[in-house]
Structure 1
């Protein structure tokens, strides 16, 4: 099988069987394009169904020589592994040459987090005398209280809120259009109700935007860029020197849950992580936290 045919079939597989978003499909396709480039330049136009484990190991070396860092190499190789799983499932190849392929060793960088004091400072920096102040407070309370991605926040819909029946949760559409239910706490509920029931109802709303929770002054849903800029501005007003983004709130949500003793599987479910290994990064606890825990609870301390 030639490369164009294999890549076309792979894209169809990703869309129909894996239900991946268009951006994810294109990212996978670019990764396989790099493998095709390697096969054309280094392997005398070797076709995808003829590549073996040694070829793929050579591909890793080639990526490294191009200056690609291990984390990017690992992402590309994830696409390669998915590509050969597809070819195996479609009986294009008798065995998967990527099965024994080792991923590059990655030093995982711990995400930046905020303390509860820092989060309170940022929220306190919001000017509640303006109509958008109530909206902004609701947004940050939901970001921190539910651990949402910024795209999940901007796409949140009124029809996916359940705030009054004693079983409070929000329905979130995450990566790959996968839906999950996330519990929502009292502070976030209070801020959401003030925004939706007391402020938003008096705001202009453009046709087609009626179901989106967070709207701008023109009645259209907010953009991801706006949320990033807002949080950057509020962090500066709060006197924080570190770089703060919407994802910092998500990292803080997960870290505070794990530090408080939450079950890792439950945190995985709330974050919408496909793999538990992604969630395990939040098991980091700083030295001062560990030290204070030992001093407080160990009988010899």
Structure 2
């Protein structure tokens, strides 16, 4: 595509970029995260008023500094969003002075990626107050139990699960699988266990609202991510799982670990989790292998005994 020579400032490019993100059908949470840095670090730097064909690496350095105001991973995220913005402009044929591929993403400490032991998962599930005397609390607890059971069984992302429709339960029960629109708008197949189907049906049986959404809040409205997040955080604290920083994505990682523990191969896990690249699944496998190695080390070495070490 021939590049168009036109004067466009970054602040003029941002609305076009956001429109493009929305047309791609990205989830509300993803777009919100882009806006956080477009209207945060990027808008608060001198880049915002610069022409797209007058950018330099000095501007990138400034953006990295501005990104630090958004926490440990702020610089990394700000640069990733900026790279995506420049990539968008290039694909639209607009001449920019920086190639997005030449902008290096800042390195940050590796994120902790907790997984639940099976007994921790069972404890979390069993503690949802599905028999609460208050009808609203009981309904919400059952909704969250069904949602978390579904996330663990299918490996779906929370954004994917919250788009499920009530009417899909028939297909799920019949086929134990479903075609969903996943990350990036691509279709993929997810699988449901008998256990997950059981909890979905138990939850739907007590619904008395007319919402088409699979999961709803206490008022019968489609469940929002923020509502679900606040609920799970309360239970994380109650069960003493704060140190593990359990989030909805934890169920997805826990499934991957559970499958590897029981002999699933890389290709199986890649399909089940919907990874586009085998390298992503390989990273999961490496993490699993590291955890397994630590467990084996402690199992073997702890048998030596502290008393023996002291007496020696």
Deviation digits for residues 30-78 of structure 1 (CA, Å, limit 9, x no counterpart): 645655764469xxx6521132xxx23x234223444615632222222
Counting matched residue pairs gives 280
Q: Does 1:2 align with 2:8?
A: yes
Alignment of 1:72-151 (within 5 A): 72-93=74-95, 97-129=99-131, 132=139, 134-151=142-159
Corresponding residue for 2:220? 219
Corresponding residue for 2:229? 228
Taking the aligned partners of 1:23 and 1:233, their CA distance within structure 2 comes to 21
How far is the alpha carbon of 1:119 from its aligned partner? 0.8
Q: CA distance change for structure 1 residues 173 and 159 in 2, over 3 Å: closer, same or farther? A: farther
Deviation digits for residues 176-225 of structure 1 (CA, Å, limit 9, x no counterpart): 554432111121122223333xx33xx4214xx1x222334543333434
Corresponding residue for 1:289? 292
- Unaligned runs of 5+ residues in structure 1 are 297-301
Corresponding residue for 2:304? none
Taking the aligned partners of 1:107 and 1:177, their CA distance within structure 2 comes to 30
What CA RMSD, in Å, does the superposition of the two structures yield over aligned residues? 3.8
Q: Could you say what secondary structure the match of 1:180 adopts?
A: strand
Q: CA distance change for structure 1 residues 240 and 59 in 2, over 3 Å: closer, same or farther? A: same
Corresponding residue for 1:184? 192
Taking the aligned partners of 2:27 and 2:231, their CA distance within structure 1 comes to 27
Deviation digits for residues 234-268 of structure 1 (CA, Å, limit 9, x no counterpart): 44555556443333323322332344444445545
Taking the aligned partners of 1:126 and 1:105, their CA distance within structure 2 comes to 39
Q: CA distance change for structure 1 residues 39 and 275 in 2, over 3 Å: closer, same or farther? A: farther
Q: CA distance change for structure 1 residues 274 and 48 in 2, over 3 Å: closer, same or farther? A: farther
Corresponding residue for 1:249? 251
- Unaligned runs of 5+ residues in structure 2 are 1-6, 133-137, 300-312
Q: CA distance change for structure 1 residues 258 and 109 in 2, over 3 Å: closer, same or farther? A: farther
Q: Which moved more, 1:172-181 or 1:185-194?
A: 172-181
TM-score, normalised via structure 1 length: 0.72
Q: Could you say what secondary structure the match of 1:205 adopts?
A: coil
Q: Could you say what secondary structure the match of 1:107 adopts?
A: coil
Alignment of 1:8-19 (within 5 A): 8-16=15-23, 18-19=24-25
